[in-house]
Amino acid sequence: MNFELTEEQLMIQQMAREFAQEKIAPTAVERDISTEFPFEIIKEMGELGFMGMMVSPDYGGAGLDTVSYVLAMAEISKVDASVGVVMSVNNSLVCWGLEHYASDFLKEKYLIPLASGQKLGAFALSEPEAGSDATNQHTEAVKVGDNWSVNGIKNWITNGKNADYYLVMAQTNRELRHKGITTFLIEKGTPGFDQAKKEDKLGIRSSDTCSISFSDCLVPHENIVWEEGKGFNFAMKTLNGGRIGIAAQALGIAEASLEASINYSKQRKAFGTEIKNHQAIQFKIADMAVQVEASKLLILEAAALKDAGKDYTKQAAMAKLYASKVAVDCALEAIQIHGGYGYVREYLVERYLRDAKITEIYEGTSEIQRVVIARELLK
C-alpha cells in the first residue's frame, strides 16, 4: 500500500492552496455577510481548470484523477466552503455525469463550456416532497412531438440562480416508479423555466440556493441524458461521486478548524501560560487531529477506488458520513477553544460551524448515508 501522493497530485494541491489563499480568502468574510456570489473567483477557477477537473481535455477539462480533485476541493473549502460547493456541484454532479452518460452531441454542446468554466451547471433532483425520498418525483415530462413538456418544482438547488445548464430529473412513466424517471438537460432561459428567490441560509451563504420551476417547459428529445427511464440510476451513480466531493469539502472545514485552534492556543494566555500548555486544550487538539486524519484517509480511499474503476458506493457514503460529522465536531471544538472570541465573526470559527452543518444534509443526509452503507453490507 502506498500512502504517497504523486508529484502531479501534490502540485495540484499546492496550486489550489495558493489560489485559495491569494484569491478567495481576502473576500470570504465579506461574501459570507453580503451573500454575494463569487462570480470572478469561479471564472478564474474555470480558467485554471478547477471547474472540470476530472473531465478529459477532449471535452475542455483538466483530465485529472479524483484524488487530485478531492485534494483541491479540501484546499478551496478550507478557505471558503461556499466556493467549495459551487465547484463540487459543477465538477462531480454535472460534468462527471455528462461525461459518463451523455450523448456525444450533448457533450460537445454542453460539457465543453461547463468543464472549461465558461458556463455553470446545477443538479435538480430534490423537490418539496422528494428530499431523502428521492424516488418520489412529482416533476413530470410528457412527450409532445420531438420535445418533452416539463412541469414541476425543484428546490434546494445549489447554483440555482446562477447556473446556465440544469440536469433535471422528471417522471416520464409514473407506473414504473423510479425506473420511469428521466434526466433532461435544460437551459436557463427556456420558456417556462423560472427561478424563485435565493434562500437566506445559515451557512455557505455566498453560494446560491433556490427553487426552480417548470411550466410547460419544452425540452428537445436530444437533451435526454443517457436514456429514458435511466434518470434515477443516473442521479444515484452521480451522487456517489458527489458525496466524495462533499466529504472533501467537510475535510477542508475540519482542517481549517484545527489550524485555527492550534494558532489560537499558541497565542492566548490563561492561568499564566499559553492555553496550548493546558491538557484540556491539548486533548481537544489531539482528538481533532485524529478525526481529520481518519476522514482524509476515508476520502482518499473512496477517491482511489473510483480512480481504479472499482465500486465505491459504500466508501463514498462512509467518507461523507464521517467527514461531515468531523467537520461539525471540529468546528464546535474550535469555538470552545476560542471561548467568547469563537462566538463572534472576527475569528472565523463561527462560520466554520455554520458552513459545516450543511455537509450532514445535502447530497444525502447522514441518515441516508447510513441506509446506503447498511444496504451495501447486507445485500
Please name the residue that has the C-alpha cell 428546490: 155
Cα separations (Å) of 45 from 99, 115, 358?
A: 20, 11, 23
Regarding 364 and contact with ligand CAA (CB under 6 A), the answer is yes
**Which CB sits closer to ligand CAA, 24 or 85?**
85
Which of 295, 330, 302 lies closest to 316, judged by CA? 302
Contact 152, 174 (CB under 8 A): no
Q: Which of 75, 127, 199, 363 is catalytic?
A: 363
DSSP-assigned letters across all residues of 88-125 = HIIIIIIIHHHHHHS-HHHIIIIIHHHHTTSS-EEEE-
Query: In whole angstroms, how close is the CB of 332 to ligand CAA at the nearest point?
Result: 23
Site string for ligand CAA, 128-167 (x = CB under 6 A): ----x-xx---------------------xx---------
Q: Which is nearer to ligand CAA, 85 or 305 (CB)?
A: 85
Alpha helices (runs of H) in 49-197, residue ranges in sequence order: 66-79, 81-88, 96-101, 104-106, 112-115
Q: Is 363 a catalytic residue?
A: yes
Note the Cα 55 to chain centre separation in Å.
Answer: 16
Closest CA to 93 of 159, 174, 140, 145: 159
Closest CA to 51 of 183, 185, 189, 163: 163
By the 8 A CB rule, do 246 and 324 touch?
yes
What residues numbered 234-253 form the site for ligand CAA, per CB under 6 A? 236-237, 239-240
* Residue closer to ligand CAA, measured from CB, 264 or 362: 362
Letters for 309-338 (x = contact with ligand CAA by CB under 6 A, - = none) are ----x-------------------------
The span of 55-63, 251-259, 318-326, 360-368 binding ligand CAA (CB under 6 A) equals 360-368
Q: In angstroms, what is the minimal distance from the CB of 22 to ligand CAA?
A: 26
Binders of ligand CAA among 74-103, rule CB under 6 A? Answer: 85, 89, 93
Site of interaction with ligand CAA (CB under 6 A): 85, 89, 93, 123, 125-126, 132, 134-135, 157-158, 178, 232, 236-237, 239-240, 313, 362-364, 368, 371-372
